[in-house]
Chains A and B, each alone.
Chain A
Amino acid sequence: MRKSKSENVKILFYGVLRDIMGKKQILFDVSGLENKTVSDIMKVLIDMFPSLKEKKFEIALNREVIRKEDYKLCKVKDGDEIALLPPFSGG
């Protein structure tokens, strides 16, 4: 059996999501995923943490907000950073 190498993506939580998750970040090993897209990662993440489903947030991949329609197109690789960003309220 082939031993697969782990591919870790950092997932960061901000604002209210940090309180809901009870943590600032997790490391997510995507090596087992068939399609390594943002959309696929989010599916697994929401299965693991169903409370995320009711929350409104945008997603940034490597510090750039991506459009919802691109979640399926954006592929991630080892070392990438995904951030879940609730609506901003600075100022």
Chain B
Amino acid sequence: MEMKSLFFLHSREDKTKVFDGKEKKKKGRAEDMRKRKYIVKGKISFRFSRGDEKCGSFVVFLGVVRADKTPVGKVKYIEYSAYEEMAEKEIEKIIKEAKEKFRVEEIDVKHRVGKVRVGEPSFLVVVSSEHRKEGFAAAKYITDEVKKRVPIWKKEVTDKGKIWK
């Protein structure tokens, strides 16, 4: 049923909004961020083309901030930062590799920067494919490679302090 509602939103608004966070807009920064395809601030959404009758599978992975225990207390939010120009390039490469390795149709990746609270998603991978097996495999490959190769850092913030991970 979840899939249906995703498609429903998609077809009505032509954009599937998975999450809306609070967006603080600073002009220069906002303009910078508009050029980014994969590194986003404040909002995770994705856009797939409609009505691909070939695809029977639609895999969505959402990475969400956990309330981990740290030596300085429980995590309240994570402050993500990225070397954005290089991160965009590296994610582009990973998507290309996944399309070569697996029989999949469309792929989208988003990673948030800035403040992400516990329970909010920070990372999204979406893969559409004819069959689920290839979709799951591609989604796993992409999540693993993004974590390994993309220059993004997190600073966990608690009531008592901050820790770089």
Binding site for B on A (CB under 8 A): 12, 14-16, 18-19, 60, 63-64, 83, 85-86, 88-91
Cα of A10 to Cα of B147 in the assembled complex, Å: 26
Q: Which of A12, A63, A86 has the most CB of B within 10 A?
A: A63
Taking the nearest CB of chain B, how far is it from the CB of A87, in angstroms? Answer: 8
Q: Is the CB of B82 within 8 A of A90?
A: yes
Chain B interface residue count, CB cutoff 8 Å, equals 23
Q: A14-B153, A60-B151, A91-B122 are in contact. Are A86 and B164 (CB under 8 A)?
A: yes
Q: Is the CB of A88 within 8 A of B143?
A: no
Q: Using a Cβ cutoff of 8 Å, how many contacts connect chains A and B?
A: 58
Q: Is the CB of B83 within 8 A of A89?
A: no
Binding site for A on B (CB under 8 A): 63, 80-83, 85-86, 89, 111, 122-123, 143, 146-154, 164-165
Cα of A18 to Cα of B82 in the assembled complex, Å: 12
Taking the nearest CB of chain A, how far is it from the CB of B139, in angstroms? Answer: 13
